Amino acid sequence: MLERSALAENALQALHDEDYDRPYNTQALNHETMIFVGGRTPVSLDGAWNFCVDLLDTGLRQKWFAMQPMPAEERSEPWDYDPYEGDTVPVPSCWQMLKETWYFFEGSAWYTRPLDMPQDLGSGRRFLRVGAAQYDCKVFLNGAFLGNHYGGSTPFFCELTGHLRPGRNWLMLMVNNTRTLDRVPMRNTDWFNYGGLYREVSLFETPTSVIRDLFVHLVPDGSYRRIRAAVEVDGGAREAVLEIAELGIRQTIALGADGRGEALVEARPELWSPESPRLYAVSLAAGDDRVEDRIGFRQIERVGDEIRLNGRSLFLRGISVHEDDRELGKVTSEADLRRRFADARDLNCNYLRLAHYPHHEMAARLADELGFLLWEEIPVYWAIAFDNPATYRDARNQLIELIKRDRNRASVIIWSVGNENPDTDARLDFMKGLADTAKAFDPTRLTSAACLVNHARNRIEDRLAEHIDVIGINEYYGWYEENFEDLVEIGRNSDPGKPVVISETGADGAIGEGAPARGLFSEAYMTEVYEKQIETLRALSYVKGMSPWILYDFRVERRQNIFQRGFNKKGLIAADKATRKDAFAVLSAYYAERRDAEAGGEEMA
Ligand code: GCU
């Protein structure tokens, strides 16, 4: 090996030290480092970034981030990768969709780009915002490690102030999507494990006193005439001014030494609902900082086994959706989302389950505008290291990041803390803690989880049910569970005393060349399952909604039979997001019937 340099020392260390990553797993970038971005103008850092896959973490071991840019002929020591040159990839993107050889790549990858600053950096503050990086993202600026973030679907911020220099800076993000035993989700899921910087990356410049958080909502006390605003400002401002001009509100909010404050104001806003998605322009100023948002005011509550919106019981006519695209992987766009909502409208939906992780923030913004209700969730999915405090810290942080990102969205009515988890003591503690956390950060919404039926006793009973407002039930009678009579018996046996939402049901239906004409995986059989499910579920009075699985066929490694070929085919629409299967019309007709009955004030059987 090399004998002549610091590299030699580091190179030997890099070969022999398997604790190399410990200093870079601080998780210092988390919900506490978020800032409020509504109304701010970001500098986009999207576009071409230098890129290299790094299966063995050679970059961390050899400290690629510490290399200085220089022409190859001037380098005095050999190197394995030069972050300042070579291939580039577009951001946002999932590396699996960019190159055949990267399709199943799981590991680390390095993204590098220049960041040019003015000669006078001024007195302001600068924050990097990453919309989402699947799963662990470590931030380096000019060779310095600034922190890392766990969680593949929530935004995070890294303050660059004080680390930037005038002129050229170099930003390096190392993203790792390896599935492990202590992550959330763990290592076994029924969706494709994409990787990369797959949502927008931006730079925000703010005054020294920055508004970190703003939560504005109708007080859920049934009066529909009180609005609460909670504010957090970092940097010394001692008051903030809230303005909602259309309601004649201009309210000064005193801030404590911790920069937090809140105010209650009387107002009678037009209420937001799917039928009338009324939004108000809201602004907040504190010191030299100013942010905006467009907010709908409504009340969602559970009363007995009813879900009530603005005091009126409703049935959630829903569909589940993944964030998945045949060409783009997990990257989404406004056009992709508008198509999703248009298809949901054609299904006569008023509700969508955004499974199994936080979707792009645009989804809730569009749902606010178009009038859809949403279930949002964190990927506490199947088996999780429920007895691992570090895993709980990760799950709790992802939940709080989701809530702080979306709690001004009227469309979001349910925070879900998990999906199909085994009913163990450790899981109960873990998920009760998450449900309590959701209420602590947002007492205005309902909590839920997609639970499993107790098949041994053919009943809806899950110990978590007493700690959540709405019981989600995933049941696949007609598909994974053969005997439909059991579903009827479950209906008779169960008296949950809370609203139940069938958070999943459905069947695979392949279409096109090679699809079976009948039997399992045929479109005909899928349609038959939908017809029998609807016939059974409509008779259960405590079922207050459903979100069948799923709107579109989606990519997943584990589905490899001759009809699936790497895709889950339970979509009502094929992976082309255009070809509708027969079951689409069956569900659409049922929802139209429910919608018209509700409009006419009739009770549905
Ligand atoms: C499960 C799970 C989904 C999965 C679906 C299926 O209920 O929650 O993530 O895709 O069933 O098996 O198709």
Question: Nearest-5° angle of CA 294, CA 295, CA 301?
Answer: 160
**What is the pLDDT confidence band of residue 249, given thresholds at 50, 70 and 90?**
very high
Q: Which atom of ligand 1 is nearest to the CA of 480?
A: 12
Q: Strands 136-141 and 521-522, how do they pair?
A: unpaired
- Amino acid in position 287: G
**What is the pLDDT confidence band of residue 3, given thresholds at 50, 70 and 90?**
very low
Q: Which value, in Å, is the radius of gyration of the alpha carbons in the chain? A: 25
- Amino acid in position 259: G
CA of 50 to the centre of ligand 1 (A): 36
Q: Which atom of ligand 1 is nearest to the CA of 189?
A: 9
At residue 40, the 3 state secondary structure works out as coil
> Residue 127's beta-bridge partner residues?
159, 204
With CA atoms as reference, report the closest residue to 63 among 107, 116, 130, 6: 6
Looking at per-residue pLDDT, the higher value among 89 and 490 belongs to 89
> The whole model's pTM is what?
0.97
CA of 475 to the centre of ligand 1 (A): 10
- Separation between Cα atoms, residue 351 and residue 339, nearest integer Å: 15
Q: Strands 249-254 and 470-474, how do they pair?
A: unpaired
Q: Which atom of ligand 1 is nearest to the CA of 450?
A: 8
> Residue 376's beta-bridge partner residues?
354, 415
Q: What is the per-residue burial (b if ≥16 Cβ within 10 Å, else e) of 82-116?
A: bbbeeeebebbbbbbbbeeebeebbebbbbbbebe
Q: What is the pLDDT of residues 358-401, one digit of tens each?
A: 999 999 999 999 999 999 999 999 999 999 999 999 999 999 99
Query: Ligand 1: residues within 6 Å at CB?
Result: 190, 356, 419-420, 474, 504, 549, 568, 570
- Answer yes or no: are the C-beta atoms of 196 and 404 closer than 8 Å: no
Pocket test for ligand 1, best of 378, 568, 569, 572 (most atoms within 8 A of CB): 568
Pocket test for ligand 1, best of 190, 382, 555 (most atoms within 8 A of CB): 190
- For ligand 1, atom 2, the nearest C-alpha belongs to 190
- Separation between Cα atoms, residue 323 and residue 326, nearest integer Å: 11
Residue 409 has pLDDT above 80, yes or no: yes
CA of 188 to the centre of ligand 1 (A): 12
Q: Which atom of ligand 1 is nearest to the CA of 554?
A: 10
Question: Nearest-5° angle of CA 235, CA 240, CA 246?
Answer: 145
CA of 190 to the centre of ligand 1 (A): 6
Q: Which atom of ligand 1 is nearest to the CA of 570?
A: 13
- Separation between Cα atoms, residue 267 and residue 247, nearest integer Å: 7
**pLDDT at site 495:** 85
Q: How many helices and strands, by DSSP H and E, does the chain display? A: 9, 34
Helical (H) or strand (E) element with 94: none
- For ligand 1, atom 12, the nearest C-alpha belongs to 190
**What is the distance, to the nearest Å, from the Cα of residue 124 to the centroid of all Cα atoms in its chain?**
30
Looking at per-residue pLDDT, the higher value among 522 and 604 belongs to 522
Pocket test for ligand 1, best of 354, 380, 549 (most atoms within 8 A of CB): 549
> Residue 140's beta-bridge partner residues?
145, 172
Q: What is the pLDDT of residues 490-520, one digit of tens each?
A: 888 888 999 999 999 999 999 999 999 999 9
CA of 332 to the centre of ligand 1 (A): 21
Residue 246 has pLDDT above 70, yes or no: yes
Residue 603 has pLDDT above 70, yes or no: no
Query: CB under 8 Å to 25, separation ≥6 — which residues?
Result: 136, 148
Mean pLDDT of the chain: 96
Q: What is the pLDDT of residues 288-342, one digit of tens each?
A: 999 999 999 999 999 999 999 999 999 999 999 999 999 999 999 999 999 999 9
Inter-CA distances, 341 with 318, 348, 356, 432, Å: 11, 10, 18, 32
Looking at per-residue pLDDT, the higher value among 274 and 10 belongs to 274
CA of 527 to the centre of ligand 1 (A): 18
Q: What mean pLDDT comes out for the span 107-112?
A: 98
- For the record, the structure tokens of 222 come out as 């049934």
- For ligand 1, atom 9, the nearest C-alpha belongs to 190
Pocket test for ligand 1, best of 504, 508, 529, 551 (most atoms within 8 A of CB): 504
Residue 605 has pLDDT above 60, yes or no: no
CA of 488 to the centre of ligand 1 (A): 21
- Answer yes or no: are the C-beta atoms of 470 and 493 closer than 8 Å: no
- Separation between Cα atoms, residue 48 and residue 65, nearest integer Å: 18
